């Protein structure tokens, strides 16, 4: 595999083992309101902006809470996990250290929120590791579109052709491919059902970052 000037990482399910948090938040939030959790619901809200997911949840379940109140409740529930319990995926720190040592710029392209991202990076010793951290909220479109990846590359000051992107979900791989970037799909338990698709679309599929270190 050729060398790259920049590596762009997704956060949830790629850098950190956090996808359980959102299922936990879904379950806890709906159960507290006497609402059963369905697979249809969890799949529907996955990848949505917080506000979009909150509006959808409010509408289909007839909740009295405002969109803002729902979003803040979700963030508060998740922040506790991110600040205390969420850990890095295997060999993430070692691979990031390897890239930094070799002068590769590090970017993050995430649908998460600074309220969650900052404590989880601090919790895992990664504060200040990334040269640029970019959010889908800054570009106004989700990861099935190329915008967030092109924006991150621009912030890093590199050509899209010189970027490698690590993602764990089909939407992310699809968006990065549309940005004409080299893509690596990273295994995550939460998206294992998508493995055949990810293997067929991504330029490479890895189980964890030890696969990258072995090159």
Q: Is the pLDDT of residue 200 over 80?
A: yes
Domain boundary among the residues 84, 117, 133 is at: 84
- 100 and 74 inside one domain: no
The domain boundary, picked from 84, 116, 140, lies at 84
Residue 2 has pLDDT above 70, yes or no: no
Domain match, 72 and 157 both: no
The domain that holds 196 is classified in CATH as 3.40.50.1000
Q: What is the mean pLDDT of residues 23-48?
A: 90
pLDDT, averaged across the chain:
94
Residue 31: inside a domain, yes or no? yes
* Shared domain check, 150 and 184: yes
Can you point out the beta strands (E) in 80-209? 105-110, 132-135, 163-167, 182-186, 204-206
Task: Give the global pTM.
Answer: 0.87
Do 67 and 153 share a structural domain?
Answer: no
* Calpha distance 158→45 (Å, rounded): 33
The string of pLDDT tens digits covering residues 96-117 is: 999 999 999 999 999 888 999 9
Distance of alpha carbon 108 from its chain centroid, rounded? 9
Q: How many domains does the chain have?
A: 2
Same domain, 26 and 115: no
The whole-angstrom separation of Cα 176 and Cα 66 is 34
Tokens of 133: 């951290």
- Classify residue 162 by its DSSP letter: G
Q: Do 77 and 96 belong together in one domain? A: no
Q: Choose one of 84, 105, 130: the last residue of a domain.
A: 84
Q: Same domain, yes or no, for 183 and 193?
A: yes
- Mean pLDDT confidence for 164-169: 97
| Whether residue 92 is found in the same domain as residue 179 | yes
Same domain, 49 and 101: no
Q: Say how far apart CA 27 and CA 111 lie, in whole Å.
A: 20
Can you give the residue range of the structural domain that contains 101? 6-17+87-213
**Buried (b) or exposed (e) across 144-182, using 16+ Cβ within 10 A?**
ebbbbbbbbbebbebebebbbbbbbbbbbbbbbbebebb
Residue 1 pLDDT: 54
State residue 140 phi and psi, 5-degree precision: 80, 10
Instruction: Say if residue 38 is in the same domain as residue 144.
Output: no
Burial of 111 (0-12, 13-18, 19+ CB in 10 A): buried
Residues 74, 104, single domain; the answer is no
> Any idea what DSSP says for residue 103?
T
Domain-embedded: residue 186 = yes
Q: DSSP secondary-structure letter at 89?
A: P
Residue 1 forms part of a structural domain? no
Largest CA distance in the chain: 54
First-to-last CA distance in the chain? Answer: 9
Give per-residue pLDDT as tens, 121-144: 999 999 999 999 999 999 999 999
Claim to verify: residue 105 and residue 196 sit in the same structural domain: yes
Is 163 a member of any domain? yes
């Amino acid at each position: 595999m050729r060398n790259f000037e920049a590596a762009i990482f997704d956060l949830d399910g790629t850098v950190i083992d956090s996808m359980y948090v959102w299922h936990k938040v879904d379950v806890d939030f709906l159960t507290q309101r006497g609402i059963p959790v369905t697979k249809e619901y969890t799949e529907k809200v996955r990848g949505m902006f917080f506000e979009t997911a909150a509006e959808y949840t409010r509408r289909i379940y007839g909740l009295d809470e405002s969109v803002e109140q729902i979003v803040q409740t979700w963030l508060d529930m998740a922040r506790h996990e991110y600040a205390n319990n969420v850990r890095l995926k295997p060999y993430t720190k070692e691979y990031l250290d390897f890239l930094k040592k070799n002068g590769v710029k590090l970017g993050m392209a995430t649908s998460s929120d600074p309220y969650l991202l900052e404590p989880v990076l601090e919790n895992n010793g990664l504060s200040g590791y990334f040269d640029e951290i970019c959010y889908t909220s800054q570009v106004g479109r989700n990861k099935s579109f190329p915008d967030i990846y092109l924006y991150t590359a621009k912030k890093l000051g590199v050509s899209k052709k010189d970027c490698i992107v690590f993602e764990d979900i089909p939407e992310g791989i699809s968006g990065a491919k549309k940005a004409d970037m080299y893509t690596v799909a990273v295994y995550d338990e939460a998206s294992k059902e998508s493995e055949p698709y990810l293997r067929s679309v991504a330029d490479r599929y890895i189980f964890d970052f030890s696969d990258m270190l072995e090159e």
